């Protein structure tokens, strides 16, 4: 059985078993499901521990091994432009689609914002330091790259790594060959480690999803359940719309791409982290799709750290849901402003679970 099939089977089994346990309301079974959650956390941590050395080694190898530095600049420019165009395309599609769905709903009722909600939100915001745009811009270049790596600050780390890779590319031949060989060997070793970790993916996914399914069984109802369903359908629809783009623009057969993308998608789904899916993405790009090294070594690390295709979806649906829930009308101009703001703020969102909330908690109006 292929790895993707085993992971998918584990995912489905965890969801079905979780729903059954939730319906039974058996305290012993619920405690058992909660007890295996640390196994899933350990598996996600094992993936994450490979991410930074893999990102650094792949970027340096991909950039420093190219003799023509201008080609890297052109590739980077095309990559960022592609990211922006895809995000804008998603925003253009999701605005009318989401507004049409919410327009079909009966009024939920003009509920009052719960007492103390505003004060609680202010306290949460005050808990972190306010960050201005200039402060955020300065933070992109780390004063201490080791600290950036330790803190998981991917964008500053990637900028430092790109500068280091460009410096290595311009270094004397002997130094360039030595350093490039070292980082190539490091990336090869990390990919071996990744293959070992991916072998445990079915167990890790099962341990992650089962406790969630057990507790979601009691809450997937009412307004919150409706939001989850609408957001999930929209995310899946946006993902499926990108498949023809890959076939037409990338000239990769649809079935081949879908099979290669499935394992990274399942890992991203179960861990709620795009960064955690990087090792599987690199594995699929090199083994299944035979993509060139400049793609697996440059574009993919850049994508998981800065390209958040779901940002316009989550912001748009979230705004419409809150407006519907509290009976506050949200017009098309407001929705468009929110969706297109998400296009550019998406590049500041870390590719970790609840990354958007991490960004928003550091910003105050």
Q: How many CB atoms lie within 10 A of CB 58?
A: 25
Residue 221, pLDDT score: 46
What is the C-alpha separation between 113 and 109, in angstroms, rounded? 12
Question: Is the Cβ–Cβ distance between 352 and 273 less than 8 Å?
Answer: yes
With b meaning 16 or more CB within 10 Å and e meaning fewer, what string describes 21-57? bbeeeeeebbeebeeeeebbeebbebbbebbbbbbbb
Angle at 226 between CA 225 and CA 230, to 5 degrees: 120
What is the C-alpha separation between 203 and 205, in angstroms, rounded? 6
Q: Does domain 3-360 have CATH number 2.40.50.140?
A: no
> Looking at residue 287, what DSSP letter applies?
I
Q: For the chain, give every domain's residue range.
A: 3-360
| 332 token code pair | 């098309």
- pTM over 0.85? The answer is no
| 302 token code pair | 């850049």
Residue 222, pLDDT score: 57
pLDDT digit string (tens) for the chain, length 365 residues:
566 678 778 888 888 898 889 888 888 998 999 999 999 889 888 888 887 888 788 788 877 776 666 777 788 788 888 888 888 888 898 889 988 888 887 765 544 455 554 454 455 445 555 556 677 678 778 888 888 888 877 778 888 888 898 888 888 989 989 998 999 899 888 878 877 888 888 898 899 888 888 886 655 545 666 777 888 888 888 889 889 988 888 888 999 999 998 888 888 777 666 777 878 888 888 888 888 877 777 788 778 767 778 888 888 888 888 788 777 778 888 888 888 877 776 665 544 444 444 444 333 33
Pick the closest to residue 72 from 277, 307, 292, 309 (CA basis).
292
Alpha-carbon distance values, 141 to 158, 218, 234 (Å): 9, 45, 35
The count of C-alpha atoms lying within 13 angstroms of the C-alpha of 342, restricted to the half-sphere facing its C-beta, is 29
Contacts of 326 (CB under 8 A, 6+ apart): 108, 110, 111, 112, 113
Residue 352, pLDDT score: 43
Residue 355, pLDDT score: 45
Supply the angle between the helices 37-64 and 27-35 in degrees, to the nearest 10. 30
SS3 category, 308: coil
What is the C-alpha separation between 349 and 307, in angstroms, rounded? 9
> Looking at residue 236, what DSSP letter applies?
H
């Amino acid at each position: 059985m292929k790895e993707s099939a085993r992971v998918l089977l584990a995912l489905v089994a965890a969801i079905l078993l979780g729903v059954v346990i939730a319906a039974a309301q058996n305290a012993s079974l619920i405690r058992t499901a909660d007890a295996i959650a640390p196994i899933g956390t350990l598996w996600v941590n094992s993936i994450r521990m490979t991410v930074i050395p893999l990102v650094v080694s792949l970027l340096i190898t991909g950039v420093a091994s190219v003799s023509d530095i201008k080609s890297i600049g052109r590739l980077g420019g095309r990559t960022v432009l592609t990211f922006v165009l895809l995000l804008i395309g998603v925003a253009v599609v999701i605005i009318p689609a989401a507004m049409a769905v919410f327009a079909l709903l009966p009024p939920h009722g003009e509920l009052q914002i719960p007492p103390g909600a505003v004060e609680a939100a202010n306290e949460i915001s005050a808990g972190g330091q306010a960050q201005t745009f200039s402060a955020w811009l300065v933070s992109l270049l780390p004063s201490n790259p080791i600290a950036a790596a330790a803190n998981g600050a991917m964008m500053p780390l990637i900028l430092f790594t790109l500068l280091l890779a460009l410096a290595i590319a311009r270094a004397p031949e002997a130094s360039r060959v030595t350093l490039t060989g070292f980082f190539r060997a490091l990336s090869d070793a990390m990919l071996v480690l990744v293959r070992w970790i991916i072998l445990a993916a079915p167990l890790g996914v099962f341990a992650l999803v089962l406790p969630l399914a057990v507790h979601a069984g009691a809450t997937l109802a009412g307004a919150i359940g409706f939001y989850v369903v609408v957001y999930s359908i929209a995310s899946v629809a946006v993902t499926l719309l990108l498949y023809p783009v890959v076939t037409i623009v990338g000239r990769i057969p649809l079935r081949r791409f879908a099979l290669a993308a499935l394992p990274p998608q399942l890992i991203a789904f179960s861990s709620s982290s795009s960064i955690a899916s990087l090792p599987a993405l690199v594995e699929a790009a090199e083994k299944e799709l035979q993509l060139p090294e400049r793609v697996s070594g440059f574009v993919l690390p850049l994508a998981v750290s800065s390209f958040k295709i779901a940002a316009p979806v989550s912001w748009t649906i979230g705004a419409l849901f809150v407006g519907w829930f509290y009976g506050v009308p949200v017009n098309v101009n407001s929705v468009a402003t929110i969706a297109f703001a998400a296009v550019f703020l998406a590049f500041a969102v870390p590719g970790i679970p609840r990354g958007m909330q991490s960004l928003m908690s550091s910003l105050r109006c």
